[in-house]
Structure 1
Amino acid sequence: MAYTVIWYGRKGIIDKVTFDAEKVAKDHAMAMFQARRGDDGAVSVEVRKDNGTVVFSHAEN
């Protein structure tokens, strides 16, 4: 099953990245959040399964 990391900015989706494993996707989302926040203006990130179910989300003000 594929897991998609979706990066959101104030105006919508910034980027999507697909991973094969849920743990790898979650680890990527947390490890990259501060960098994406500073570089791209990301305000939140989600990890979704193929069927659209959100398995992880993170946001900061």
Structure 2
Amino acid sequence: MAYTVIWYGRKGIIDKVIFDAEKTARDHAISMFQTRKGDDGVISVEVRRDNGAVVFSHAEN
């Protein structure tokens, strides 16, 4: 099953990255959040399964 990390900014989706494992996708989202927030203006991130179900999300103002 593939997991998609979706990065959101104030105007919508900034980027999508696909991973094979949920843990890898979640770890990537957590570890890169502060960097992407500063560099790209990210305000939230989600990890979704192939069927669209959200398995992890994080947001900051």
TM-score (norm 2): 0.99
TM-score (norm 1): 0.99
- SS in structure 2 of the partner of residue 38 of structure 1: helix
Q: Does 1:39 align with 2:39?
A: yes
List structure 1 segments (4+ residues) > 3 angstroms apart after TM superposition: none
The count of aligned residue pairs is: 61
Give me the CA root mean square deviation.
0.2
Q: What one-letter code is carried by the residue in structure 1 that aligns with 2:35? A: A
Q: Unaligned stretches of 5+ in structure 2?
A: none
Percent identical among aligned pairs is 82
Q: 1:2-56: CA deviations, max 9, x gaps? A: 0000000000000000000000000000000000000000000000000000000
Q: Unaligned stretches of 5+ in structure 1?
A: none
